[in-house]
A and B are shown apart, each in its own frame.
Chain A
Amino acid sequence: MAGPRELPTDEVLVQRLRSGDEETFALVLDSWSGGMLRLAMSFVSTRDSAEEAVQDTWLAVIRGIDGFEGRASLKTWVYRILVNTAKARGTKESRTVPFASLLPQEEEGPTVDAERFRAPGERYAGHWVAGQEPRPWDIPEDHVLRGEVREVIAAAIDELPPRLRTVITLRDVAGYGSDEVCALLEISPGNQRVLLHRGRALLRRKLEAYLSGAHDVASGRGHA
């Protein structure tokens, strides 16, 4: 599971927040705000607006911590407030994310370019076309390249359609399980999985393009 690694248990966190421990507040603020900002971007149109949604959320957390009942984890509770806050802002900006509706056009179709598979009727139809199968990656340990890979992924996430971005952010960046994500976004497990899969496949494609480009330079391998 990704996410903050060294936070105390919820019980300890809540008790310290209620007693006004500033260090603990700074700790959760710094641990969660980055992910919250990314998540808020799914619902609003500008980074400023996302940042305001995150601020409003923290203010609501400060005011509401005494009423926190511990039915969900503290982080889930905070994220729910964020989703509601950001959704409300997004609606005002007429940018709603209709999770319940059918998948829009850009999110349909195969997640791997159909031309990479043998066409129906051909021998071995549906199997990789020779030379089009994924080539193994070699991501060196080198921290510079690892950093670049991270940048490629971060940029790719920013370009995802909002619903894909939201689900990827919750599942793969913040490390939530599918049940939690379904509850948080009020979508079915099947719908959640479709969005997640499309998002992951798009990120893999971006990495593939980036890494094969890098390899081409290194090995002189051309691209047909």
Chain B
Amino acid sequence: MNCNDFVELVTEFLDGALPEGDERRFVEHLAECSGCETYLDQFRQTIAATGELTSDGISSDARRHLLTAFRDWQREA
């Protein structure tokens, strides 16, 4: 397996979706190539950092409006 093939298979590898033969070749390449080892590591770090994202919520106006709507709906029910 070449490095340019390796970098395209990383997500499939991480999802456990590589066919057995490809997975073996992937791992063999990994053992021999420090560049690709770094690439895989950075890919993992990118995913982990993405998972740490906290996005801004909705505006406080919208939040207040929805809490009121929830209360009103409850009163009607």
Q: Give A203 to B53 CA distance when docked, in angstroms.
A: 13
Q: Could you list 12 A-B pairs, sorted by A, with CB under 8 Å?
A: A22-B71, A25-B70, A30-B63, A34-B55, A58-B69, A62-B70, A110-B4, A127-B33, A127-B35, A172-B50, A172-B51, A173-B55
Which B residues are CB-close (under 8 A) to A178? 15
Q: Give A22 to B65 CA distance when docked, in angstroms.
A: 13
- Pick from A134, A168, A189 the residue with the most CB of B within 10 Å: A134
Contacts A63-B73, A149-B49, A201-B7 given; does A208 touch B35 at CB 8 Å: no
Contact A117 B3 (CB under 8 A): yes
Stretch at the interface among A67-75, A77-85, A96-104, A192-200: A192-200
Q: Give A189 to B11 CA distance when docked, in angstroms.
A: 12
Q: Say if the beta carbon of A2 comes within 8 Å of chain B.
A: yes
Which B residues are CB-close (under 8 A) to A54? 58, 62
Pick the contact of A197 from B11, B38, B52 — CB < 8 Å?
B11
Contact A33 B69 (CB under 8 A): no
Q: Which residues of B contact A (CB under 8 A)?
A: 2-5, 7-8, 10-12, 15, 17, 33-36, 38-39, 41-43, 45-47, 49-59, 62-63, 65-67, 69-71, 73-74, 77
Contacts A128-B35, A168-B50, A173-B50 given; does A33 touch B58 at CB 8 Å: yes
Chain A residue, CB-CB nearest to B71: A22
- Shortest distance between the CB of B69 and any CB in chain A (Å): 6
Q: Number of A residues contacting the other chain (C-beta, 8 Å)?
A: 54
Given A29-B58, A201-B7, 20 extra CB contacts under 8 A: A2-B52, A20-B71, A20-B77, A25-B67, A26-B67, A33-B63, A37-B57, A62-B66, A62-B69, A112-B4, A117-B4, A127-B2, A153-B53, A154-B55, A172-B50, A193-B11, A193-B17, A197-B8, A200-B43, A201-B43
Q: Give A137 to B46 CA distance when docked, in angstroms.
A: 11
Contact B69 A59 (CB under 8 A): yes
Q: Give A172 to B51 CA distance when docked, in angstroms.
A: 5
Q: Which of A165-199 contact B (CB under 8 A)?
A: 168, 172-173, 175, 178, 189, 193, 196-197
- Shortest distance between the CB of A66 and any CB in chain B (Å): 8
Contact B57 A33 (CB under 8 A): yes
